[in-house]
Amino acid sequence: MKKTILALTFAVVSLPAFANHPIARTTVVATADHPVAMAAATSGNGAHPVERGAVIASSDHPAEMAVATGGGAHPVARTAVVAQSDNPVAAAVVTGH
């Protein structure tokens, strides 16, 4: 739990600068419990990388959340819909652009 909180805190502080700082991004990805999802979250494709990283890091299904929040106009709102759905896969498809 401490590792997750520490990685999340570091990610929240550093995420906006990751596109131009590959070493900082590599550190966060390497220390994350779900490195593939965190790599996707910090890739700079989202409009709100800090919120997206926090949502993915705290998700029960980080890979699905990374996909659900990628490239949309409102990734955080879409994530909330997907996360609260009884069928998150279907919700991700329906809310996809």
pLDDT digits over 1-42, tens only? 566 665 666 555 555 554 555 666 677 777 777 777 777 666
What's the DSSP call for residue 95?
T
Q: Measure the CA–CA gap between 67 and 61, rounded to whole angstroms.
A: 10
Q: Measure the CA–CA gap between 9 and 16, rounded to whole angstroms.
A: 13
Residues 6+ positions from 61 with CB-CB distance below 8 Å: 88
- pTM for the full predicted model: 0.32
18-22, 80-84, 92-96: range with highest mean pLDDT: 80-84
DSSP 21-88: -HHHHHHHHHHSSSHHHHHHHTSS-SS-HHHHHHHHHT-SSHHHHHHHTSS-SSHHHHHHHHHHSSSH
